Amino acid sequence: MRNSVILFPLAALALLVAACSPAAEDIVRYPADGLSFAVTNDGWKLAVYHLPAAGEARHADPVIMCHGFTSTSVTFDQGDGRGLGPYLAKLGYDVWMVNLRGRPPGSYPGDGSTKSYGWTVDDYIRRDVPAILKLVCDKTGARRVTWIGHSMGGMVMYAHLGQTADERVARFIAVSSPLWFTDLSDRLVNLARRARRWVEPDDGLRLGFITRVATPLHMTSLVGSYLDLVVNRANVTEDQWRRYLVNGVVNVSGAEALQIADWSLRDVMISQDGRTDYRAAMRNIRTPLLAITGKVDFLAPPSSVLPIGEWVASADKTVRVFSVANGNRADYGHLDILIGRPVTEEVFPFLTAWLKERE
């Protein structure tokens, strides 16, 4: 009887581990010779993947692509030729896809002075972005780059440009990057409130593990309703969605989550110490800007993106909502605007046309 009591939980654990193991075809692997590391001024190593121009290179600035809050470079390259990264590389662009701190195969200092968790959005803005820009400019010899940021990957560039007026950034494309938080869904507001109650700054939120557990076991009542906030599931193929969940969801810092929760609940975009108002500083931005989002994006709804055109000082600025009403084949959500079914026919050509007009 005692052996049965012991064996049952062990067998259940073995089944859970087996269920959570991703299939080989769902694991994204990039060529090792395309990997570089940007080193921040506090010692973090950030993984940066290079996709060189395929065929004849365009006379264009390098393109840097930066992911969102819980994501990785898989947002731009799913490892099978799909994604905005391979799409632009095939057109002759020199593409560099970044992974901000805390994402493998990057590493933290580990010398006892810095914890593996506890970083903030301020660290992305003040330390990671400058390190990435320096790496790409040093590697390519370019004086200017194009920055394409998805979600928080666009928010950190808004903050960087507002603070620095960095002339190295010649063009800026913000994809589903919210800067106002008054129209968030009740589920997101509840998540932010729970974060305030349950999360400590030095916590590591194991979102990658939770996602891997929930996906194969179809625990939709627990996690599925929240995953639906970030994607229009009708607009992605099953294999695209699996690849993203296996490779594109990572653990995040408690301090980072608390800072974003604070922004969401107070409708602000400020530094952790309260001294810097990143949103107000956006009035200093004069970089050519394209901001897009989808009609059914619950994290960056049109109401949180459309006013950007009036907020920044750029003379060259374009704002676009991808929806059936605007002539598209689908109403796009937060992630499927980059990994959805029709993106290579609708979203990517639109972004490319904007880039070509400004080379």
The tens-digit pLDDT sequence of the chain (359 residues) is 444 444 444 343 333 343 445 665 667 777 778 999 999 998 899 999 999 999 788 889 999 999 999 899 999 998 888 899 999 999 999 999 999 998 888 877 765 445 567 899 999 999 999 999 999 999 999 999 999 999 999 999 999 999 999 999 999 999 999 999 988 888 888 888 988 888 888 877 667 665 665 555 444 444 556 667 889 988 998 888 888 888 878 888 889 999 999 999 999 999 999 999 999 999 999 999 999 999 999 999 999 999 998 899 999 999 999 999 999 999 999 999 999 999 999 999 999 999 999 98
CA distance 42 to 83: 32
Q: What is the pTM of this model?
A: 0.90
Listed by start position, the domains of the chain span 26-356
Question: Which alpha helices (DSSP H) does the chain contain, by range?
Answer: 2-20, 84-90, 121-123, 129-140, 152-164, 186-198, 207-217, 225-227, 238-247, 254-266, 278-281, 302-305, 308-311, 336-339, 347-356
Identity of the amino acid at 231: V
pLDDT for 109 equals 73
Burial of 334 (0-12, 13-18, 19+ CB in 10 A): buried
8 A C-beta contact, residue 161 and residue 284: yes
CATH number 3.30.70.100 is the correct assignment for the domain at 26-356: no
